[in-house]
Amino acid sequence: MIILTNTGGVAMTNCYLIADEATRQAVLFDAPDHTTGPLLKEAAARGWDVIGLWLTHGHFDHFADHAVVRQKFPAAKILIHALDEPKAQHPEVQTRLFQLPFVIPPLKADAHVTDNQKLKIGSLEVVVIHTPGHSPGHVVYHFPKEKVLVGGDLIIGGSIGRTDLPDSNHQEMEASVRKVMRLPAATRLLGGHGDAKTLEEERQTNPFVREMLAAS
């Protein structure tokens, strides 16, 4: 497994390119605005086939560059949970809400991911975990053998994702955090914002996680 990261866009969002070096297959996780280009260029330089753009959720800073991905790798399959696709299909709602200085093309996914779905990147096994709260269709992607979790805006470097947005739900967020924290403590969390940490580090140092776990 090779993990490449780029951070950018108006919300300083993390974008991850994860590859199985043996099969030269790779997947991009999330597509922040003005951020995917360098990773796609690196994939092409290494001879990797980017087979997918797998989204954690439908907030603009996680899918804005989807058309860039499609342009560079037309066969890449875009996956998102069905509950979050409407946001991606109508990005103009978020463009107005957040007064964005750019236009995001509407996104139509190739398929929907579901809780506990098994996916593969070459020989890498990936399990989808539905983690609503920040948004109804928020998911994370777990690599159980490698102990890696692409976490979107669930737990983000000492904090958690916002639950004050129109379709957020704080109680669901609490349940999702507790669900993910049952994974192995050594799991490396690649959050949508901030630096990577292990779940154990978040358990010890993240006050929001500590409070949610204590309340369970």
- What span, in angstroms and rounded, lies between the C-alpha atoms of 7 and 16? 9
- Judged on CB neighbours under 10 Å (0-12, 13-18, 19+), 113 is buried
With vertex at residue 122, the alpha carbon angle to CA 51 and CA 189, rounded to the nearest 5 degrees, is 85
Please determine, for residue 98, whether its predicted confidence score (pLDDT) is greater than 90: no
pLDDT in tens, 38-95: 999 999 999 999 999 999 999 989 999 999 999 999 999 999 999 999 999 998 888 8
Average pLDDT of the chain to the nearest whole number: 95
pLDDT confidence of residue 93: 84
- What span, in angstroms and rounded, lies between the C-alpha atoms of 68 and 192? 19
- What span, in angstroms and rounded, lies between the C-alpha atoms of 79 and 114? 10
Cβ neighbours for 63, distance < 8 A, ≥ 6 positions apart: 30, 31, 55, 80, 88, 91, 104, 107
Give the torsion through C-alpha atoms of 196, 201, 207, 208, to 10 deg: 60
